[in-house]
């Protein structure tokens, strides 16, 4: 296993401004060039891994890939970004580009909401990982943040960091985030980096960097949050919906494999798996079960 | 001389067992509950025809989570009176299904001769050391702390100074504790005409020792039991054995499951229960840690959000044998079904004080919610990795811990 080390990561909240007309929200594209300045600032703050939201794009996917690959190479960082279905592609996809512009990981969203299904989006059927200096990383794209199977499989396969480019239909408040990536981070004892798209009237963002509660300020499970100090992100300050930032913003945090080691040693969740119980019911129960 | 010592020891054990059997008699327990009911003014008025099962509304049920302070008892009668009082308060508010916390049976440790006379804050390990005459006694703990490794730096490792596991002490009191526990809850359920999830008690199961929950129906009949399927480090040190199955129970309101405490940390528990048809999942808990939202919110609440069911969580609170228990008992539903869009139908005001938390479940509303918000199944993905990866992943993460 390669040596692992700490990395500073940055999670971005990007706001699309369509002049108040959100009807064609998914018909817009975000040009990475104006964003380069912001990405560069994160790099200047020491970030080596940048995570961007799930973005709309109507051009060919190859062009999307080329533009963001070039951005990663120019700035010299690992850059994760999501692309919404569109432009002839019927999947929401996460891309991870390397500092040399390579593409070590590409991941389609594997679970869909009713509206995504009705829109003709197709689910991916596999979950893959890439190796970074801080550990193995995988994607939970969009809706996947709210499915424990996704994040458990990633963790079982060795993921230490889950990248989550999202565009969450509002209202998106404290409790809904707690039910999503936050909880996946806790039950798998990994890091989670959620990057949200903000589109007034359509998408709300709660960009944050998460970790097992034991290693976070105030034991809130947050290392950084775009809406305020991490140590305040608890039920006492829960809001029913987020306040829009109205601009591009990012938060940074240092993620260290030693932090996960501490959390896992303090309580070894995986040690207490009841494998005979799971073997008895998985995967057959998904076919025969009465999911309603 | 050695023979005389052995005879003496055997005689003492025989006397102890006889005393346990006496203190755990069903008749004694039933009489205690009858006296408690009389003292309270007779059968409670619930406002519902709860004693008439035929008139239960299959689409609506009022439930209660008993947030309870654990206190040592020295007899089945004493235990029964306390349980009856708490259940009666829930029934008086119209609850038809009442849930007690994990380790509700641990107070029966008071049956160990002399233990109840020790200072209140004596830990389990210290108590055993004192009773067995050993000088060493660690700072041991029980319950479900997710920081066991750092909290138990001086603990006994789950055994006494003769290497006897702590589970042996639970087994020793079981001849009195177990029948008294069962009789108390059965009689409470029958008298009040309610369904009762008892929380749990540590008891033998053949050669094993398990953390066991019971479910009683309104005529006092035992509907089933559930062994905790995911242990915590302390329970492993005590030499408890995890259960191998997740059971479902039929009620007028559909199927329910009642896994125990740490079982709710694992999404697998709830997914199996709900795919097998459970609409309500009940979690008795005893979290041995100071209340912090981040720590407390890693169990039943997110599991309900993942699976679109109703959840009832009941917590032990307060100090017991040197341990601090905390938790906010709650009745939980999917976010969008709750008034504050926070997933809570009802919730305890405090994580430290006893309380009865009451909430109403609407099964029709739950079915409508599910129809409008269907969960997605990616069978191809699951078949690829589940359950094959669990063992390998466990080995990869295995780290020595104390």
Cβ B281 vs Cβ B273: under 8 Å: yes
The model's pLDDT over B332-359, given as tens digits with 9 standing for 90+, comes to: 999 999 999 999 999 999 999 999 999 9
Using the Cβ of A20 and the Cβ atoms of chain B, whether some distance falls under 8 Å is answered with no
Measured CA to CA, the distance from residue B319 to residue B357 in angstroms comes to: 20
Q: Residue A233 has what pLDDT?
A: 84
State the Cα torsion B181-B185-B186-B190 to the nearest 10°.
Answer: 160
Q: Residue B25 has what pLDDT?
A: 84
Q: Return the percentage of chain B with pLDDT > 70, whole number.
A: 88
Measured CA to CA, the distance from residue B146 to residue A187 in angstroms comes to: 12
**How many other CB atoms are found less than 10 A from the CB of residue A19?**
5
User: pLDDT averaged over chain B?
Assistant: 88
Q: What is the pTM of this model?
A: 0.92
The model's pLDDT over B59-80, given as tens digits with 9 standing for 90+, comes to: 999 999 999 999 999 999 999 9
SS (H, E, C) B204-223: EECCEEEEEEEEECCCCCEE
Please name the member of A156, A269, A288 whose beta carbon is closest to the beta carbon of B265.
A269
Asked if B148's CB is within 8 angstroms of A291's CB, the reply is no
Instruction: Calculate helix-pair angle for B167-192, B26-39, nearest 10 degrees.
Output: 50
Test the A interface: residue of B254, B273, B294, B309 with most A CBs within 10 Å: B294
What residues of chain B lie within 8 A of the CB of A270, using their CB?
A: 393-394, 397-398
* Residue B18 confidence class, pLDDT cut points 50, 70, 90: confident
Q: Residue A269 has what pLDDT?
A: 96
Measured CA to CA, the distance from residue B194 to residue B99 in angstroms comes to: 11
Asked if A219's CB is within 8 angstroms of B229's CB, the reply is no
What residues of chain B lie within 8 A of the CB of A220, using their CB?
A: 293-294
Using the Cβ of A231 and the Cβ atoms of chain B, whether some distance falls under 8 Å is answered with no
CA-based nearest residue to A181, from A226, A125, A142, A231: A142
Asked if A219's CB is within 8 angstroms of B381's CB, the reply is no
Q: Residue B161 has what pLDDT?
A: 62
Using the Cβ of A269 and the Cβ atoms of chain B, whether some distance falls under 8 Å is answered with yes
DSSP bridge pairs for A169 = A203
Nearest CA to CA, how far is A103 from chain B (Å)?
A: 23
Nearest CA to CA, how far is B311 from chain A (Å)?
A: 14
Nearest CA to CA, how far is B3 from chain A (Å)?
A: 45
Please name the member of B267, B293, B383 whose beta carbon is closest to the beta carbon of A283.
B383
DSSP bridge pairs for B250 = B255
ipTM (interface pTM): 0.93
DSSP bridge pairs for A11 = A51, A251
Please name the member of B230, B276, B376 whose beta carbon is closest to the beta carbon of A285.
B276
Which residue has better confidence, B149 or A115? A115
How many residues appear in chain B?
Answer: 402
What residues of chain B lie within 8 A of the CB of A112, using their CB?
A: 376
Mean pLDDT for the stretch of residues B18-34: 86
Q: Residue B164 has what pLDDT?
A: 79
* Residue B150 confidence class, pLDDT cut points 50, 70, 90: very low
Asked if A271's CB is within 8 angstroms of B398's CB, the reply is yes
Using the Cβ of B255 and the Cβ atoms of chain A, whether some distance falls under 8 Å is answered with no
Using the Cβ of A139 and the Cβ atoms of chain B, whether some distance falls under 8 Å is answered with no
* Residue B17 confidence class, pLDDT cut points 50, 70, 90: confident
Residue for token digits 């891994």? A49
- In this structure, is the dihedral angle defined by the CA atoms of residues B34, B36, B40 and B45, taken in order, positive or negative? negative
Using the Cβ of A219 and the Cβ atoms of chain B, whether some distance falls under 8 Å is answered with yes
Using the Cβ of B336 and the Cβ atoms of chain A, whether some distance falls under 8 Å is answered with no
Q: Residue B6 has what pLDDT?
A: 62
Asked if A267's CB is within 8 angstroms of B147's CB, the reply is yes
Nearest CA to CA, how far is A216 from chain B (Å)?
A: 10
Cβ A66 vs Cβ A52: under 8 Å: no
Cβ B230 vs Cβ B263: under 8 Å: yes
What residues of chain B lie within 8 A of the CB of A111, using their CB?
A: 376, 378
Q: What is the largest CA-CA distance in chain B?
A: 78
Which residue has better confidence, B14 or B401? B14
Nearest CA to CA, how far is B286 from chain A (Å)?
A: 16
Using the Cβ of A97 and the Cβ atoms of chain B, whether some distance falls under 8 Å is answered with no
Q: Which of A248-252, B18-22, B51-55 has the highest mean pLDDT?
A: A248-252
Using the Cβ of A246 and the Cβ atoms of chain B, whether some distance falls under 8 Å is answered with no
What residues of chain A lie within 8 A of the CB of B230, using their CB?
A: 272-274
Using the Cβ of B299 and the Cβ atoms of chain A, whether some distance falls under 8 Å is answered with no
Using the Cβ of B147 and the Cβ atoms of chain A, whether some distance falls under 8 Å is answered with yes
Cβ A130 vs Cβ A95: under 8 Å: no
What residues of chain A lie within 8 A of the CB of B265, using their CB?
A: 187, 269
Instruction: Give the pLDDT of chain A (292 residues) as one tens digit per residue.
Output: 468 999 999 999 998 865 544 444 444 555 556 678 889 999 999 999 999 999 999 889 999 999 999 999 999 999 999 999 988 899 999 999 999 999 999 999 999 999 999 999 999 999 999 999 999 999 999 999 999 999 999 999 999 999 999 999 999 999 999 999 999 999 999 999 999 999 988 999 999 999 999 999 999 999 999 988 888 888 877 754 556 666 789 999 999 999 999 999 998 999 999 999 999 999 999 986 544 3
Asked if A238's CB is within 8 angstroms of B342's CB, the reply is yes
Q: Which helix (H) or strand (E) holds A32?
A: helix A32-44
Please name the member of B378, B384, B397 whose beta carbon is closest to the beta carbon of A264.
B397
Cβ B326 vs Cβ B317: under 8 Å: yes
Q: Return the percentage of chain B with pLDDT > 90, whole number.
A: 70
Asked if B340's CB is within 8 angstroms of A273's CB, the reply is no
Which residue has better confidence, B245 or B400? B245
What residues of chain B lie within 8 A of the CB of A153, using their CB?
A: 381-382, 385-386, 389
Q: Residue A185 has what pLDDT?
A: 98
Which residue has better confidence, B299 or B133? B299
Q: Residue A16 has what pLDDT?
A: 81
Nearest CA to CA, how far is A38 from chain B (Å)?
A: 32
């Amino acid at each position: 296993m390669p040596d692992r080390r700490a990395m500073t990561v940055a999670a971005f909240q990007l706001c699309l401004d369509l002049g108040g007309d959100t009807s064609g929200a998914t018909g817009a594209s975000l040009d990475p060039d104006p964003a380069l300045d912001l990405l560069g600032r994160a790099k200047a703050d020491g970030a080596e891994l940048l995570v961007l939201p799930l973005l709309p794009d109507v051009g060919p996917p190859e062009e999307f890939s080329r533009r963001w690959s070039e951005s990663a190479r120019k700035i010299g960082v690992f850059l994760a970004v999501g692309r919404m279905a569109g432009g002839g592609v019927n999947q929401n996809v996460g891309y991870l580009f390397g500092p040399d512009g390579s593409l070590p990981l590409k991941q389609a969203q594997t679970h869909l909401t009713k509206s995504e299904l009705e829109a003709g989006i197709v689910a991916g059927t596999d979950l893959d990982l890439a190796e970074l200096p801080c550990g193995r990383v995988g994607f939970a794209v969009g809706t996947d943040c709210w499915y424990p199977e996704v994040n458990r499989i990633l963790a079982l396969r060795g993921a230490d960091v889950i990248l989550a480019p999202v565009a969450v239909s509002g209202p998106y408040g404290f409790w809904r985030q707690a039910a999503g990536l936050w909880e996946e981070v806790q039950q798998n004892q990994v890091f989670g980096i959620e990057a949200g798209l903000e589109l007034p009237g359509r998408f709300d963002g709660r960009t944050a960097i998460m970790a097992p509660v034991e290693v976070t300020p105030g034991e809130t499970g947050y290392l950084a949050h775009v809406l305020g100090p991490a140590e305040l992100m608890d039920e006492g300050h829960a809001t029913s919906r987020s306040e829009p930032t109205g601009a591009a913003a990012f938060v940074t945090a240092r993620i260290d494999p030693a932090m996960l080691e501490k959390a896992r040693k303090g309580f070894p969740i995986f040690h207490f798996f009841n494998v005979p119980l799971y073997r008895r019911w998985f995967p057959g129960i998904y076919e025969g079960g009465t999911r309603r | 001389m050695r023979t005389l010592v052995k005879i003496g020891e055997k005689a003492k054990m025989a006397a102890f067992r006889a005393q346990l059997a006496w203190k755990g008699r069903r008749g004694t327990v039933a009489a205690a509950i009858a006296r408690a009911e009389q003292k309270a003014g007779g059968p409670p008025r619930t406002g519902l025809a709860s004693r008439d099962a035929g008139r239960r509304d299959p689409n609506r049920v009022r439930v209660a989570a008993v947030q309870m302070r654990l206190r040592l008892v020295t007899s089945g009668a004493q235990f029964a009176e306390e349980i009856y009082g708490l259940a009666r308060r829930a029934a008086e508010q119209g609850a038809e299904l009442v849930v007690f916390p994990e380790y509700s049976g641990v107070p029966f440790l008071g049956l160990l001769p002399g233990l109840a006379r020790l200072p209140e804050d004596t830990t389990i390990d210290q108590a055993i050391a004192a009773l067995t005459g050993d000088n060493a006694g660690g700072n041991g703990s029980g319950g479900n702390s997710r920081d066991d490794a750092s909290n138990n730096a001086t603990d006994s490792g789950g055994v006494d100074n003769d290497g006897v596991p702590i589970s042996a002490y639970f087994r020793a009191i079981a001849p009195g504790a177990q029948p008294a526990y069962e009789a108390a809850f059965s009689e409470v359920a029958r008298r009040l005409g309610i369904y009762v999830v008892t929380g749990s008690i540590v008891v033998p199961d053949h050669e094993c020792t398990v953390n066991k929950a019971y479910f009683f129906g309104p005529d006092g009949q035992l509907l089933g039991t559930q062994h905790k399927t995911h242990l915590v480090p302390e329970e492993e040190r005590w030499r408890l054995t995890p259960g191998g199955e997740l059971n479902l129970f039929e009620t007028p309101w559909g199927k329910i499951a009642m896994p125990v405490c740490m079982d709710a940390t694992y999404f697998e528990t709830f997914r199996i229960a709900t795919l097998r048809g459970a609409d309500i999942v009940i979690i008795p808990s005893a979290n041995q840690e100071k209340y912090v939202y981040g720590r407390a919110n890693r169990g039943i609440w997110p599991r309900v959000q993942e699976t679109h069911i109703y959840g009832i969580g009941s917590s032990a609170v307060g100090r017991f044998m040197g341990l601090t228990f905390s938790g906010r008992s709650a009745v939980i539903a999917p976010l969008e079904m709750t008034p504050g869009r926070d997933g809570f139908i009802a919730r305890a005001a405090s994580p430290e004080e006893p309380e009865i938390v009451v909430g109403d479940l609407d099964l029709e509303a739950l079915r409508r919610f599910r129809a409008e918000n269907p969960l997605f199944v990616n069978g191809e993905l699951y078949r690829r990795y589940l359950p094959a990866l669990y063992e390998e992943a466990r080995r990869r993460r295995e780290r020595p811990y104390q």
